[in-house]
Structure 1
Amino acid sequence: MPDLQSPPARKRFFLALPIPTPIRITLSHIQKPLQSIDLPVKWQTGKLMHLTLAFLGEMDETHVEPLTAILHQIGQATPRFHLELEALGAFPSYGHPRILWMGVQPSRELVRVQKALTAALATAGYVSEPQDYYPHITLGRCAHDLTRESKQRLQAALSKPAAMQGESRWEVDRIHLYESRTDEFGLHYTPLSGVMLNA
């Protein structure tokens, strides 16, 4: 008899730091002047905001357990630390903006945990991105190439210091393994597992 068992479902995974509610509120205030420019940008809602440490791409769901084990290995060896919002930016450049983001100061603690995590993933045979890590929180994605006038207006807005209305510094106390999924209702990030950092 042929094996009729369905193959494991495939999912898109990434490891990231969740963003606490007070910081999400600050980021929503930062988005407002950019939104007022009326550009073809899909804005990131608060519930989708996170700080990526490693993106793993698509793989089958049997990897949840070993990835969670790696997460616990790194998390249990990492003390809690603080992060702070820094400045606005765009990828790949201001001249050709596709992703609008809020930078996060690359503290020694953040760099250390990101490197430890990607090293542990590599040892276990996982290939992760990005190779050059620049910590940021996505605020919006440009739907298509902007006109020259739109680019100029956006560049002018991004060049101004972000108005920090509310909290801009927070304590990092956990790391999550997320699934990224898109359906007819939009983009969803679902935490599949997590680990608390040392107090």
Structure 2
Amino acid sequence: MSKHHYFFAVKLPIEVKAFLKEWVEAKKQDFPFAKWVHHEDYHITLAFLGFAAEEMKYEAIQTMPEVLKDEHPFPLTLHQIGIFGPHKKPRIFWAGVEHSNELIHLQKKVYNHLLKVGFELDKKPFRPHITLARKWNSPEEFDQNLLTAIENNLSFTVNEIILYETHLDQTPKYHEFARFLLE
């Protein structure tokens, strides 16, 4: 068993990461969260594996191209910001994307395949998001009125899925372990 966590995710293009980095820098003072995610670590998680047994991880890597063979690149658009956790002291601050049937379909396909491989996955409904920060860090309650649309509805193309490996002692902490292109 590896000491690292693994997860499959949509890789965001450099320009999306740069846009979100600039947005965060401009708005950070309005959102006192304790831990901000490094912009290179921005992604949309499809399935979190946790610690992955080597044989299961390699079976997932070997079989994922067949699972994705009929999947094609598709557009997503940044849309809004939101929170997870208690409304007064949220755990997660995120950027969301407009609803996408293609993204929902892709996530289900990846998720169901990983279940067949033998992974025990989170059963919570899929809520596509890009984590920007964690842990509200203010004596004042979070102001729900700050949750607005992202001004520049930036669109981008999803054209690759990555199996990321987590290195908690590094920044950025997510490293590409395997790449799968949508063609």
TM-score (norm 1): 0.82
Report the CA distance shift for 1:75/1:141 in structure 2 as closer, same or farther (over 3 A).
same
CA distance in 2 between partners of 1:174 and 1:126 (Å): 22
What's 1:168 paired with?
A: 154
CA distance in 1 between partners of 2:56 and 2:10 (Å): 19
Q: CA deviation at 1:34?
A: 3.2
Equivalent residue for 1:138, pick from 131, 143, 159: 131
Q: CA deviation at 1:145?
A: 5.4
- Counterpart check, 1:20 vs 2:13: yes
Calculate the aligned-residue CA RMSD, in Å: 2.1
CA distance in 1 between partners of 2:31 and 2:182 (Å): 40
Structure 1: which 4+ aligned runs deviate by more than 6 Å?
A: none
CA distance in 1 between partners of 2:118 and 2:54 (Å): 16
Aligned residues: 183
CA contact (8 A) 1:51 1:137 kept: yes
What's 1:3 paired with?
A: none
Secondary structure at 1:97's aligned position in 2?
coil
Q: Which ranges of structure 2 fall in alignment gaps of 5 or more residues? A: none
Q: Which ranges of structure 1 fall in alignment gaps of 5 or more residues? A: 1-7
- Counterpart check, 1:151 vs 2:139: no
What's 2:181 paired with?
A: 196
What's 1:90 paired with?
A: 83
CA distance in 2 between partners of 1:118 and 1:85 (Å): 23
Q: Deviations over 1:83-119 (max 9, x none)?
A: 1111110012432311100011231111111111111
What's 1:5 paired with?
A: none
CA distance in 2 between partners of 1:162 and 1:67 (Å): 35
Equivalent residue for 2:163, pick from 166, 169, 177: 177
Q: How does 1:115-126 map to 2 (within 5 A)?
A: 115-126=108-119
CA contact (8 A) 2:161 2:179 kept: yes
Equivalent residue for 1:114, pick from 107, 116, 119: 107
TM-score (norm 2): 0.89
CA contact (8 A) 2:38 2:172 kept: no
AA at the equivalent of 2:162: H
Q: Deviations over 1:44-102 (max 9, x none)?
A: 12111011000011123343311212321222221111111111100124323111000
CA contact (8 A) 1:17 1:53 kept: yes
